[in-house]
Amino acid sequence: MIFRRLFFLVALISWPVFSYDDRSLTDFDAGFDLPPNSLEASFTHRFYGPLDTDGLKTVFGLGSGANARIKELYISSFGLLVDANFTTDARELSFGAGYAVIPKTFLVNLLAYAQLSSDQYWDTTINDLSRKGDLYLQMVAQTKPFLFKRLLLTVALGYDLNENKPGLATGFEVVIRDNVGIIGELAPVTIKKVDNINFGNPSYSIGARVSTFGHQFIFFVGNATGIGPRKFLYGSGDYHLRLGFEIKRLFNFGHN
């Protein structure tokens, strides 16, 4: 409750923002394009109901509940990235930190990232709700725009220490114009089985990004219900399409 109140307090603050060029993917935020000393607030929503099977019964999955995440991401003036997240699925709380390397003369940007998380689950030994912690490590490599500055590629290699398993994800963005792009994510190598639940199918999503004056709006379809790099790498229990969206707001504290 306190975390949510702090988020909405920050979101109500008005701060001058004159440009917003964030090429991060929905589940693999790298923050390479964010200005130094800035804060990005985001809200992500993935519906549980399948778009391609439920039809009008659940209004194409919109009436079947959803997983949602509130996130605050801060970029320092020297490449340090810190974030805090609350996700409704498993009442997950997570805190992450990373360091970005953005060379001026090299095509690829790099991010080393670590995330501590706490998930709620049903403990059969005590027949009650309990929590478990996890440590997730990740390396992200993202190209600068190439092929007439119209294409960006992303590769993320993650390792879940609690499950002792690696995962691999890839992504892309096709830049239609400066403020419009087509984005996609795919996790062909997933962590698969977590807490005896089989997520054996690769996760994927594809959608569109629209940037405005200090805001971004992303609309996508995909088979995953998990949000964030660790949950996306778990995979999905099926291949059914589900709707999702993300809204971002940038606060540029370094603007003069």
- What distance in Å separates the CA atoms of residue 42 and residue 79, rounded to the nearest whole number? 20
**Hey, which bits of the chain come out as E strands?**
38-47, 66-75, 80-87, 92-101, 108-123, 128-143, 151-160, 165-177, 180-189, 193-194, 197-198, 203-211, 215-222, 242-252
pLDDT of residue 20: 54
pLDDT at 44: 95
The number of distinct structural domains making up the chain is 1
Amino acid 80: pLDDT = 95
The CATH number of the domain holding residue 37 is 2.40.160.40
Residue-number span of the structural domain to which 79 is assigned? 2-12+20-252
Report residue 209's pLDDT band, with 50, 70 and 90 as the boundaries.
very high
Q: How far, in Å, CA of 171 to CA of 155, rounded?
A: 6
Can you tell me the mean pLDDT for 189-207? 77
Tokens of 67: 């997983």
Nearest Cα to 90, choosing from 139, 40, 162? 162
Cα–Cα distance, 66 to 242 (Å, whole number): 10
Contact call for residues 149 and 124 (beta carbons, < 8 A): no
pLDDT at 16: 36
Q: Give the model confidence (pLDDT) of 5-59 as tens digits.
A: 544 444 444 333 344 567 787 788 788 888 899 999 999 999 988 887 655 666 6
Q: What does the DSSP 8-state code read for residue 180?
A: E
Question: What's the whole-number average pLDDT of the chain?
Answer: 84
Burial 208-224 (b: 16+ CB within 10 A, else e): ebebeebebebebbbbb
**Each residue's pLDDT tens digit, 77-109:** 888 999 999 999 989 999 999 999 989 888 999
Give me the pLDDT at residue 249, please: 93
pLDDT classification of 165: cutoffs 50, 70, 90: confident
Q: Which tokens sit at 49?
A: 């109901």
